[in-house]
Amino acid sequence: MSISDETMKAMIKDYDGFELSDKELQLVRPDVDSYFSAMEILNELDLSMVMPSRLLRVQEGDVD
């Protein structure tokens, strides 16, 4: 998956980032593309057998 320069510029503007030139965008593009590749790998993981950690509760203090 790739992201267009226009989308990157819009995202930077939405998050009040620094305005980047086209040349500067090309310098950061490999990093952005690698993040998208990593997200695609994570999206393909089968986590159906993993219990969510937010469901686990530890009782603190003395148990009577």
| Domain assignments of the chain as residue spans, ordered by start | 5-43
Reported pTM: 0.62
pLDDT tens, the chain, 64 aa long: 678 899 999 999 999 999 999 999 999 999 999 999 999 999 999 988 988 877 767 777 766 6
Tell me what pLDDT residue 13 has. Answer: 94
Q: What is the pLDDT of residues 40-55, one digit of tens each?
A: 999 999 988 988 877 7
Q: How many residues does the chain have?
A: 64
Tell me what pLDDT residue 62 has. Answer: 67
What the block records as the tokens of 60 is 């603190």
Instruction: Say if CB 13 and CB 46 are below 8 A apart.
Output: no
Q: Rounded to whole angstroms, how far apart are CA atoms 7 and 12?
A: 9
